[in-house]
Amino acid sequence: MTIENFTEDEHVKKDREFYTTGQVAEIFGVNFRTVIRWIQRGILQAHRLPGRGDHRISSNELARFAAENKQSFQTSTLSPKTEAARLPVALVIDDEPAVAQAISRALKSLHMTVEVAHDGFTGGFLLHKLKPNILTLDLKMEKIDGFDVLRIVKSHPDLKHTKVIIISGDTQENLSRANDVGADAVLSKPYTRAELANTVEKLLK
């Protein structure tokens, strides 16, 4: 399939190969009309759905745009005072929305600012944008290799302060392997809220 013969049905089937302007706006923290302006200026390539005129942006194009313009979207506008008072930030990467929501709620109850990613692209972008204090990561996801994400976080100089908590229903062998790869904590599903809270508090100290 090429962009020229793209149809909306294909988009629905192929979960997240293409993004709407609204989704792109959410990723970059801007208004959707700003994304349309990028398209009009030619700095972000998109195509229009036949008849409707809605724009769709491919994940490859989004990755290129994000990589080329990463510096422009760093959260560098906070004053030092605001930075100090900022709540700890957590990023939840889990491809099951219900599970991600449960983890998110638990972390918010610990007075954290929480962002959630269900796919590798959004997770990667948010990791670099937020540089979170805490990352919760499932190992067993359909399209994302949790071990790859863990290795990337542990080897990237910009993310050296990010503590990784593996929250997974995977085998004991793989959970131990996660420790060897560098996970800061491992929680086996099912886990209790108290266990998550204790783990986060220890890591944030």
Partner 1 sequence: MNTEKPLLKIVLVVEDDDCLKLSINRCLRAIDRNLQIEWVGSVDEAEAYLQTHTVSLIIADHGLLGFRTGLDLWNSNLVKTSRTPFVMISGYPVEYFVRQSTEMPLPPILTKPFSLSEFNTFVSGHFNSQKNEPEVVR
Residues lying near partner 1 in the complex (CB under 8 A): 22, 30-34, 37-38, 69, 72-73, 77, 79
Smaller CB separation from partner 1, 19 or 139: 19
To which residue do tokens 């409707």 refer? 52
Smaller CB separation from partner 1, 60 or 69: 69
Q: Which long-range contacts (CB under 8 A, 24 or more apart) does 140-145 make?
A: 140/168, 140/169, 140/170, 140/174, 141/93, 141/94, 141/95, 142/95, 143/95, 143/119, 144/93, 144/95, 144/119, 144/120
Smaller CB separation from partner 1, 20 or 174: 20
Smaller CB separation from partner 1, 30 or 102: 30
Smaller CB separation from partner 1, 29 or 182: 29
CB 14 → partner 1: shortest distance, Å? 25
CB 77 → partner 1: shortest distance, Å? 5
CB 87 → partner 1: shortest distance, Å? 13
CB 125 → partner 1: shortest distance, Å? 15
Smaller CB separation from partner 1, 113 or 174: 113
CB 198 → partner 1: shortest distance, Å? 31
CB 35 → partner 1: shortest distance, Å? 10
